[in-house]
């Protein structure tokens, strides 16, 4: 009888371990899938940045410029298709989980202090997970000290 | 004694199931990671194609063109960093696992029949796994029949 109980307990323990492992494995596979997407998309974001800088500079060759602008639209659509979504910035309250403040300007009265007023570099997320924070300029309550001198 | 043996057997069976599951789970997570990379990269390949078509057309604006050409080099490097590698084509024997023949031309004597002589669209792979086949033109042994008329 004693032996039987011990065997039963050992079996129950193994079954519990198995169940736990199963749950953990499902979660780990999910995060492996996300990790794969993340590793693939991260190096491509600076490519889009460079393309945008080229477009901002403008061109005297209208036809060529239009072709490159079409490529840019396709790039944005492809990133969305791959599951990446731009981080909301201008007009939103500064959120340290999504935004990286690279500068501050005094609020001009039209926006509340702590509001994002400019986007310096686009941020990207996949679902709730941040791929890269947005670099932003934030409105502050007080004028910078050196403006009072 | 009989009960003890049954319990032992049941336990051994569960342990074997657990071990099998563990092995399968490790493989599945690996393939989930690859699947994530694949899903992220596939929509981006046509973006690179479009950029290349724009560059092939050329431009009268040298400075703008150079900026876009730099973006193209960055794009190729980013895909490699993401784990994608172009499929070898020109001069290689046609391989149905990597190449999709979109046309055939008579071998001109400098290449063996069955050799890839032109790349129409670049193919991509991640390690041993094909992301997208290369579209190629293949040299054939015989002249097309209508050239004999």
Gap between the Cα atoms of A101 and A116, Å rounded = 9
B136 Cβ contact partners less than 8 Å away, ≥ 6 residues apart: B89, B94, B99, B100, B101, B102, B116, B117, B118, B119, B120
Q: Chain A closest CA to B104's CA: distance in Å?
A: 31
pLDDT at A2: 56
Percent of chain A clearing pLDDT 70 (strictly above): 92
pLDDT at B137: 97
- Asked if B71 contacts A54 with a C-beta cutoff of 8 angstroms, the reply is yes
pLDDT at B103: 95
Gap between the Cα atoms of A110 and A115, Å rounded = 10
If you search the block for the tokens 């084509």, which residue do you land on?
B89
- Asked if A77 contacts B74 with a C-beta cutoff of 8 angstroms, the reply is no
**pLDDT tens digits along A95-142:** 999 999 999 999 888 889 999 999 999 999 998 899 999 999 999 986
Q: Is A114 on the interface with B (CB under 8 A)?
A: no
Given a cut of 60, whether residue A147 has pLDDT beyond it is no
Query: CB–CB of A33 and B30 under 8 A?
Result: no
Gap between the Cα atoms of B144 and A136, Å rounded = 63
Count CB-CB contacts under 10 A for residue B115: 17
Q: Could you tell me the end-to-end alpha-carbon distance of chain A, in angstroms, rounded to an integer? A: 90
Q: Chain B closest CA to A122's CA: distance in Å?
A: 17
Give the residue from B116, B48, B128 showing the smallest Cα distance to B85: B128
Given a cut of 90, whether residue A26 has pLDDT beyond it is no
Q: Is A110 exposed, middle or buried (0-12, 13-18, 19+ CB in 10 A)?
A: exposed
Which chain B residue is nearest to residue A126, measuring alpha carbons? B40
Q: Is A79 on the interface with B (CB under 8 A)?
A: yes
B108 Cβ contact partners less than 8 Å away, ≥ 6 residues apart: B139
Q: ipTM exceeding 0.85?
A: no
Q: Is A6 on the interface with B (CB under 8 A)?
A: no
Query: A-B interface: how many C-beta pairs under 8 angstroms?
Result: 171
Strand partners, B135: B100, B121
Helix, strand, coil: what percent of chain A each, to 5?
55, 20, 25
pTM of the entire predicted model = 0.80
Strand partners, B116: B138
CB-CB: which of B14, B47, B64 is closest to A71?
B47
Gap between the Cα atoms of A134 and A128, Å rounded = 14
How far from chain centre, in Å, is Cα B5?
A: 53
Residue A86, helix vs strand vs coil: strand
Given a cut of 50, whether residue A149 has pLDDT beyond it is no
Contacts of B8 in chain A (CB under 8 A): 7
CB-CB: which of B29, B36, B47 is closest to A37?
B36
pLDDT in tens, chain B (149 residues): 556 688 888 889 999 999 999 999 888 888 888 899 999 999 999 999 999 999 998 899 999 999 999 999 999 999 999 999 999 999 999 999 999 999 999 988 888 999 999 999 999 999 889 999 999 999 998 655 555 44
Q: Which of B9, B33, B127 to mutate to test the interface with A (most CBs of A within 10 A)?
A: B33
**φ and ψ of B124, to 5 deg:** -135, 145
Q: Is B105 on the interface with A (CB under 8 A)?
A: no
Given a cut of 80, whether residue A4 has pLDDT beyond it is no
Which chain A residue is nearest to residue B56, measuring alpha carbons? A64
């Amino acid at each position: 009888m004693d032996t039987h109980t011990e065997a039963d307990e050992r079996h129950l323990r193994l079954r519990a371990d198995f169940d736990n492992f199963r749950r953990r494995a499902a979660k780990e596979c999910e995060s492996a899938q996300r990790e794969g997407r993340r590793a693939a998309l991260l190096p491509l974001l600076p490519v889009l940045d460079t393309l945008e800088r080229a477009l901002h500079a403008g061109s005297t060759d209208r036809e060529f410029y239009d072709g490159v602008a079409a490529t840019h639209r396709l790039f944005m659509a492809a990133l969305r298709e791959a599951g990446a979504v731009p981080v909301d910035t201008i007009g939103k309250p500064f959120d340290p989980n999504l935004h990286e403040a690279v500068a501050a300007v005094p609020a001009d009265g039209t926006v509340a202090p702590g509001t994002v007023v400019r986007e310096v570099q686009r941020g990207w997320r996949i679902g709730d997970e941040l791929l890269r924070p947005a670099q932003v300029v934030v409105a502050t309550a007080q004028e910078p000290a050196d403006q009072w001198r």
